[in-house]
Amino acid sequence: MIYEFEGYKPIVDESAYVHPQAAVTGNVIIGKDVYIAPGAAIRGDWGKIVIKDGCNVQENCTIHMFPGVTVVLEESAHIGHGAIIHGGHIGRNCLVGMNAVVMDNVELGAESIVGALAFLKEGMQIPERSLVVGNPGKIVKEVSDEMIKWKTQGTKLYQQLPNQLQGTLKECEPLREEPEDRPSQSKKYETWGKTKDSES
């Protein structure tokens, strides 16, 4: 659902896909090929939220801020299931892992990766290409070329998803049993653990 608030209407590029079960409110700008998943809450009621081209915000994520703050997700930022971005700035081609929390005034440098369940406390300045894990979050190493290549491939799947959803998603009645001719789905992408093992 898209909501106007105090005269601010969200701006959504026509190539983006906002799921009907997401809530996008107020002063929000959503760029090209962006995917906003069901259950995401993007609240531009107290400040501005800019989600640039090629980003994805997955199921049950929250993006919000203190009054007067602008939250920016730079191009191709990838926000994993259940993550919270509160007043932070997410750099280009970053990955924020599932259920991670990025607090106010955090600057996450380009091509950084935040591990699942990590907590980035207020005001952290994370250099480009950092791998951040834990609670509190700590930089444990530099993101390798192989790791950022893996991340970029995963984000490309999400950049293709808006067009696929616009073309094929529709409400339907469920089947009562699995048809014998139901096709299998292709393995387009693997976890980092499997990818790393296959390259070593």
User: pLDDT tens, 34-47?
Assistant: 999 999 999 999 99
Closest CA to 26 of 55, 50, 61: 50
**What does each C-alpha distance from 60 to 56, 184, 189 come to in angstroms?**
12, 27, 22
Contact 31, 14 (CB under 8 A): no
- Residue with token string 């190539």: 15
What is the reported pTM? Answer: 0.95
pLDDT tens-digit profile of 163-181? 999 999 999 999 999 999 9
- Interval 58-79 mean pLDDT: 98
Confidence check: pLDDT of 200 > 80 = no
Q: Which is more confidently placed, 148 or 188?
A: 148
pLDDT at res. 197: 80
**CB neighbours of residue 60 within 10 Å:** 17
Helix (H) or strand (E) holding 57: strand 56-57
Q: What is the pLDDT of residue 188?
A: 86
Q: What is the pLDDT of residues 106-138, one digit of tens each?
A: 999 999 999 999 999 999 999 999 999 999 999
Contacts of 32 (CB under 8 A, 6+ apart): 13, 15, 16, 53, 54
CB atoms within 10 A of CB 176: 5
Q: What average pLDDT does the segment 94-112 reach? A: 98
The label of the residue with tokens 């993101």 reads 143
Give yes or no for residue 199 having a pLDDT over 70.
Answer: no
Q: What percent of the chain stands above pLDDT 90? A: 94
Neighbouring C-beta atoms of residue 171, cutoff 10 Å: 5
How would residue 52 be classed by pLDDT, with cut points 50, 70 and 90? very high
Say what the pLDDT of residue 115 is: 98
pLDDT of residue 198: 75
As a whole number, mean pLDDT of residues 20-33 equals: 98
Local structure of residue 186 (DSSP, 8 states): P
